[in-house]
Chains A and B, each alone.
Chain A
Amino acid sequence: MFTKKEGAMMRRVGFATGRFAALLIVVSAAACTQKTPPQLSPAGAAGYHGYRVLQAVAAIQDTTIMGERNGVIPAKDARIVVQATGIAGKAGSELANALRVGNAATDAKTRALGIIRQALLDVPGQLSPETQKLLEPYFSVALSAISILE
Chain B
Amino acid sequence: MATHMAEPAAGETEATTENLTLEDQVWLLRAMLLMRGLEERAMTLYRQGKVPGSFYDGFGQEAVSAGAAFAMAPEDRLCILHRDLAAHIIRGVTPERILAQYMGRAAGITAGRDGNVHFGDRNLGCVGMVSMLPDMMLIATGMAMAFKLRGERRCALTWFGDGSTSRGDFHEAMNWAGVQKLPVVFVLENNQYAYSTPLDKQFAVDPVERAAAYGFAGVTVDGNDVEAMFEATRAARERAIGGGGPTLIEAVTMRMHGHAAHDDMKYVPKEQVEEWRKRDPVDRQEKRLGDLGVDIEALRADVKAEIDAAAETALSSPMPDPAGAVDGVFCEGEAEPLGDGVARWSGFSQKAVA
A and B from one complex: no
